[in-house]
Amino acid sequence: MRSTHLHFDMQLGRKKPESIHNRDTSCPFCDRNSLTDVLEQRGSMIWLKNKYPVLQDTLQTVLVESDECDGDWSVYSKEHVRNLLAFGVEKWMEMEQSKDFQSVLFFKNHGPYSGGSIRHPHMQIVGLHQYDYLHQVKESDFEGIVIDQEDGVEVTLSTQPRASFFEYNVVLSNYDRLGRMAEYLQILAHWILNHVNPRFQSYNFFFYHWEGKLVAKVVPRFVTSPLFVGYSIPQVANNLEEVVREIRSHYF
């Protein structure tokens, strides 16, 4: 029987530090000498096991993005975002290819509405032993109006978002263009934090392997719509073409 839910360890969850709202909390990722279960370090980036693995029947790992506690994808150098995405994708694929998991999640939380608890920029790679995330994914999730495209990679605005009014997709069909994918993700993070979401300052990256392609979905985060929470009804804005024109005017 296929698993439909993940179980959350509430007792362990209560012990997790919280530094997004409480900036007086000591940052665990800044105190690098105290980090344990480090799997690999590459420059200022560190991949390690999650000290608070609250999701049962999983292997939770964290990719600390840099030694800058107030850093973010929107302000990193282009070289750093390219190296960061390459590192993350490499470790994600290693976990997938290990065959130890039904599926492996790769995602990023940023900001108080994103579902994260630690301000220091990081991504997560989580192996699910009994859950296949692809059962919840469909082709239309990644279809949309083209904002910009180059050989092997394109960025779109979803016409059928999974949950949010605005969801942006970066679709990579040629893995040699992974560096350009990273640059597109940086543009979208900057767009969200400076033009879409300056008050809430929150977004997520979600990564998928789909039909031989690598897809990243970038989602601005606000208070979740009650229509989605209560009825799983996603909403889409009626001004998508206008938004596409505005993004192009700023970045392309």
The pTM of the full predicted model, rounded to 2 decimals, is 0.96
Q: Does residue 24 carry a pLDDT above 80?
A: no
How does DSSP classify residue 180?
H
List domains and CATH numbers for the chain: 10-134 (3.30.428.10), 137-251 (3.30.428.10)
pLDDT band at residue 21 under the 50/70/90 scheme: confident
List, for residues 38-58, the tens digit of each pLDDT value: 999 999 999 999 999 999 999
pLDDT value of position 164: 84
Q: Does residue 26 carry a pLDDT above 90?
A: no
CA distances from 102 to 128, 172, 211, 212 (A): 6, 23, 17, 18
pLDDT band at residue 2 under the 50/70/90 scheme: confident
pLDDT value of position 17: 86
Q: Does residue 23 carry a pLDDT above 90?
A: no
For the chain, the distance separating the N- and C-terminal CA atoms, rounded to the nearest angstrom, is 48
Residue 47 · residue 38 · CB < 8 Å:
yes
Which residue in the block uniquely carries the two structure tokens 């979208």? 188
List, for residues 92-143, the tens digit of each pLDDT value: 999 999 999 999 999 999 999 999 888 999 999 999 999 999 999 999 999 9
Q: Does residue 173 carry a pLDDT above 90?
A: yes
List, for residues 77-96, the tens digit of each pLDDT value: 999 999 999 999 999 999 99
User: Which runs of consecutive H residues, i.e. helices, occur in 103-232?
Assistant: 178-191, 226-231
Residue 167 · residue 236 · CB < 8 Å:
no
Residue 156 · residue 169 · CB < 8 Å:
yes
Which residue in the block uniquely carries the two structure tokens 């679709």? 171
pLDDT band at residue 1 under the 50/70/90 scheme: low
pLDDT value of position 18: 85
CA–CA separation, 170 and 152 (whole Å): 11
Average pLDDT score over the chain: 95
